[in-house]
Amino acid sequence: MLQDNLTVESAILIGVVTLSQDLRMVLDYLDELEFLAETAGATVMNRFIQRIDSQNPGTLIGKGKLEEIRLYAEENDIDILIFDDDLSPTQLRNIEQAIGRRVVDRTNLILDIFAKRAQTAYAKVQVELAQYLYLLPRLAGMWSHLERQRGGIGLRGPGEREIETDRRIIRQRIGKLREDLKKIDLQMNTQRQNRGKMVRVALVGYTNVGKSTLMNLLSKSEVFAENKLFATLDTTTRKVVIGNLPFLLSDTVGFIRKLPHHLVESFKSTLDEVRESDLLLHVVDISHPGFEEQIGIVNQTLSDLHCADKPVILLFNKMDAFSYVPKDEDDLTPGTRENISLEDLMNSWMAKNNNPCIFISAKQRTNIEALKELLYAQVREIHTTRYPYNDFLY
């Protein structure tokens, strides 16, 4: 939605801490938001955090904080304010009017990144649909934007002045996009059905954990992997052979905290790959301080996709980047996440998890053979349960 406008823009981040949250957590969220902002091309100049007991329905944050931000934005020539929380159409409009800068919430930022990352016609249709669904209730506010600042937020399609006309056009466009998606879905379904009897394995996980790196490693393909969020939007599927056993491996779009529901809805077909797979390889970045929360978010998203019952291998990646601070022997305060050694972590996860777990480094190729053995065993079991009389020749 912002198209390339963010490229050279300076931004500030704004987060709120509610009574039920602790500051540490919100700081981690803002780290992630900063990563998202950078991925979209903005430079983050500062962060503002407000503690609130209850949300201000009109502007989310309080008047005083708003004024503080306005002053800062003015003095430092800030282009854009990025909120970690989703803003209602009214809040968005009010804050913009109060501060006189462009305001983007988390959903809008994620949609913007998706729009830039979409490569195939298929991904583009899905993103465009999500963008219009997001835009529709916010049209009135967008117009005040456009009048002040042409080309601010990308309202590519409609050119008319009347909001009602625009709504109609957008609704029509949404209808058309949904139809297009249905057609593509049919094609994809047929393609998937033509793949024969091979067992299907899907790499799933939070964004930036190393899924595409692993895909490349296991399938010797060249899937785009980089230290950015959502480097890959489209699902890539490759045939992989371990021993004499061929199976299909898919690299899928990463999940993230508060993934906009419009995106989940319009990416349903991309996520079909996950839904139709026989085995999930849930990749975790063990070097990330919030990895446990990320596991929770991925599991929640999987259960939203009705995939909670699928067999899973929990794959802890980036063990090379894991660091910890051993606790002093005479330090009697309870240990925190930073004080836990990799070994303890491995033991506790292996003990509490019913699914097979494995710890690897895709980058340094640590434990890749063990991973292959584990995959072989799991895929073979699925295969022989399903086709008891078949060996692996197709």
Q: Kindly list the residues in this chain that would bind ligand GDP in the complex (CB under 6 A).
A: 205, 207-213, 225-227, 231-232, 254, 317-318, 320-321, 361-363
Task: Tell me how far, at minimum, the Cβ of 230 lies from Mg ion, in Å.
Answer: 8
| Residue 193 binding target from ligand GDP, Mg ion, none, CB below 5 to 8 Å by type | none
- In the set 212, 219, 236, 250, which binds Mg ion (CB under 5 A)? 212
Does residue 236 belong to the site contacting Mg ion (CB under 5 A)? no
> Residue 15 in 3-state DSSP?
strand
Closer of 94 and 270 to ligand GDP (Cβ): 270
Task: Tell me how far, at minimum, the Cβ of 227 lies from Mg ion, in Å.
Answer: 11
Total residues in contact with Mg ion, by rule CB under 5 A: 4
- In the set 5, 39, 94, 232, which binds Mg ion (CB under 5 A)? 232
Contact assessment for residue 327 and residue 293, using Cβ atoms and an 8 Å cutoff: no
How far does Cα 383 stand from its chain's mean position?
A: 31
| Residue 141 binding target from Mg ion, ligand GDP, none, CB below 5 to 8 Å by type | none
x-marked contacts with Mg ion along 335-374 as a string, rule CB under 5 A: ----------------------------------------
Distance CA 17, CA 54 (A): 10
| Residue 362 binding target from ligand GDP, Mg ion, none, CB below 5 to 8 Å by type | ligand GDP
Give residues with Cβ within 8 angstroms of 54, minimum separation 6.
none
Closer of 15 and 254 to ligand GDP (Cβ): 254
CB atoms within 10 A of CB 80: 22
DSSP class of 334: P
Distance CA 252, CA 116 (A): 17
| Burial tier of 135 (Cβ tally within 10 Å: 0-12, 13-18, 19+) | buried
Helix (H) / strand (E) containing 279: strand 279-285
Distance CA 103, CA 262 (A): 19
| Residue 301 binding target from Mg ion, ligand GDP, none, CB below 5 to 8 Å by type | none
The residues of the shown chain that bind Mg ion, judged by CB under 5 A, are: 211-212, 231-232
